[in-house]
């Protein structure tokens, strides 16, 4: 069969809708009709080469190139067909996707850390995790899929380990955003930094992921939440969802924090700008208190090695610098949990979806993200 899918053919080439050939689901694979897909910044990291694996890594895992690739790794949909031996979902089930598959049996999954599943090593490019072959083809060429998914397509074929079954009454738009950005930001505050009632949290970057971090901090009981972003519109939105104060830069926040915290500074700093640069680490530590937790959520270029850090202050302030993938929580725990918080009116999603786009408008949506005119965009698929 064929499906419309949004494809990037090479470094810095635009996202473009194509009619692609798609094979039926193989063993343990599932076909999903998409309902919503969210616009996480990580797809742009792929297009710009920030997250291109080094050529020798690609060679080692037998992948000729990261391109061409079907974009999209945030999404929700309905299962329309299952291949052999599928046990986790059935036709008609509502699902959210997960950019890290969860096998359930590797060391990390078995110890309750499905966000670290060993299958994650195949997430950026290559064939299906079931057998290494490809299901999508364009003019005879095999297509990669972003994060083993490719949610910017009317129909998607993926492995059942890449899906999270959700209740049929779940808010599907919320499920799409929670499938990556919101969960990652929320978990950065709640699961990684373990924000406690009364603490002061600084969130740097107020896009989709930052919006999750701000709300995680609010729900965890933070007293002061300082949203940092150079775009005034993002700061207005941040206030609507829980930020108590705003600043245009970390330097501005550095001047505000002593007064806001009786001289103590921030207990937690979460870094969620669109692209992480090495000099932000020193600035983040500078607004941190003694014993502060600094969480690195945003993605930098894959070969970024240089970091600014005052090593003397870092040790003497007893600070902790921590990375996170998917906000350090298992997708099959976090996604249903956050959907329940949406139902309860505690987690706000509609407030951050600035605009709905058609599949043909994905490139436009990413240009709007770069211009700072949307907090999060979603693709709404035809019913
Ligand atoms: N660790 C993970 O598992 C994980 C998961 C999802 C996304 N990410 C990454 O998180 C980052 C954020 O993603 P997003 O989708 O929210 O991006 P986004 O583009 O929607 O938002 C980024 C925001 O950062 C702001 N910004 C840019 N430079 C800044 C600076 N120096 N200081 C303060 N704010 C700044 C922008 O104005 C924008 O509002 C990306 O790097 C993305 O790839 C990581
Ligand atoms: Zn993402
Ligand atoms: Zn696993």
Predicted local confidence at residue 49, as pLDDT: 87
- Residue ranges around ligand 1 (CB below 6 Å): 40-42, 45, 180-181, 184, 204-210, 228-231, 234, 272-275, 297-299, 324-326, 369, 372
Predicted local confidence at residue 64, as pLDDT: 83
State the CB neighbour count (10 A cutoff) for residue 141.
Answer: 12
Predicted local confidence at residue 52, as pLDDT: 81
Rounded (to 5) percent helix, strand, coil in the chain: 35, 25, 40
User: Collapsing DSSP states into helix, strand and coil, what is residue 155?
Assistant: strand
pTM higher than the cut 0.75: yes
Q: Where are the alpha helices (DSSP H) in the chain?
A: 42-48, 55-60, 107-110, 172-178, 181-187, 208-220, 232-240, 250-260, 279-287, 311-316, 331-343, 362-371
| 277/308 Cα distance (integer angstroms) | 9
> Closest ligand 1 atom to the C-alpha of 369?
19
**CA 212 – ligand 1 centroid, Å:** 11
Percent of the chain with pLDDT over 90: 92
Predicted local confidence at residue 82, as pLDDT: 98
Radius of gyration of the chain (CA): 20
The tokens of 245 are what? 């104060």
Ligand with minimal distance to 248 CA: 1
> Closest ligand 1 atom to the C-alpha of 45?
43
Give, using CA atoms, the residue closest to atom 19 of ligand 1.
Answer: 274
**What separation in angstroms does the CA of 83 have from each of 23, 129, 156?**
11, 14, 13
Ligand with minimal distance to 105 CA: 3
> Closest ligand 1 atom to the C-alpha of 372?
37
Q: Which residues of the chain have pLDDT under 70?
A: none
| 186/295 Cα distance (integer angstroms) | 12
pLDDT tens-place string over residues 211-221 = 999 999 999 99
| 189/214 Cα distance (integer angstroms) | 8
The tokens of 118 are what? 């060993």
| 248/229 Cα distance (integer angstroms) | 5
Predicted local confidence at residue 81, as pLDDT: 98
Give, using CA atoms, the residue closest to atom 22 of ligand 1.
Answer: 274
> Closest ligand 1 atom to the C-alpha of 234?
39
Predicted local confidence at residue 53, as pLDDT: 76
Residues listed for the chain:
383
Predicted local confidence at residue 179, as pLDDT: 98
Give, using CA atoms, the residue closest to atom 30 of ligand 1.
Answer: 273
Predicted local confidence at residue 54, as pLDDT: 77
The mean predicted confidence, pLDDT, of the chain is 96
């Amino acid at each position: 069969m064929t499906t419309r899918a949004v494809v990037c053919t090479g470094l810095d080439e635009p996202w473009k809708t194509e009619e692609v050939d798609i094979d039926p689901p193989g063993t343990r694979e599932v076909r999903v009709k998409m309902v919503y897909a969210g616009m996480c910044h990580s797809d742009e990291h792929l297009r710009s080469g920030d997250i291109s694996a080094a050529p020798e890594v690609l060679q080692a895992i037998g992948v000729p190139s990261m391109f061409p690739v079907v974009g999209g790794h945030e999404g929700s949909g309905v299962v329309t067909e299952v291949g052999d031996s599928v046990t986790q979902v059935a036709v008609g089930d509502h699902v959210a996707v997960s950019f890290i598959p969860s096998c359930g049996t590797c060391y990390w999954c078995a110890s309750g850390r499905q966000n670290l599943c060993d299958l994650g090593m195949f997430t950026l490019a290559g064939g299906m995790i079931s057998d290494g072959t490809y299901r999508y083809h364009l003019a005879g060429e095999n297509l990669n899929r972003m994060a083993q998914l490719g949610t910017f397509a009317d129909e998607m074929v993926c492995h059942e380990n890449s899906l999270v079954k959700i209740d049929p009454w779940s808010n599907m738009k919320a499920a799409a955003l929670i499938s990556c950005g919101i969960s990652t930001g929320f978990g950065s505050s709640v699961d990684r930094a373990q924000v406690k009632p009364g603490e002061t949290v600084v969130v740097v970057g107020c896009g989709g992921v930052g919006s999750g971090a701000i709300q995680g901090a609010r729900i965890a009981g933070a007293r002061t939440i300082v949203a940092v972003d150079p775009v005034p519109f993002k700061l207005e939105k941040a206030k609507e969802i829980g930020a108590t104060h705003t600043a245009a830069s970390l330097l501005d926040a550095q001047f505000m924090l002593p007064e806001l915290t009786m001289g103590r500074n921030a207990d937690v700093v979460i870094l969620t700008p669109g692209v992480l640069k090495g000099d932000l680490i020193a600035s983040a530590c500078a607004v941190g208190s003694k014993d502060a937790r600094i969480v690195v959520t945003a993605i930098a270029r894959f070969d970024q090695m240089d970091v600014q850090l005052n090593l003397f202050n870092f040790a003497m302030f007893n600070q902790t610098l921590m990375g996170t993938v998917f906000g350090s929580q298992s997708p099959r725990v976090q996604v249903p949990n956050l959907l329940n918080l949406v139902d309860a009116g505690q987690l706000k999603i509609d407030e951050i979806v600035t605009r709905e786009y058609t599949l043909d408008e994905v490139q436009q949506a990413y240009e709007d993200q770069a211009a700072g005119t949307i907090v999060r965009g979603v693709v709404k698929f035809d019913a």
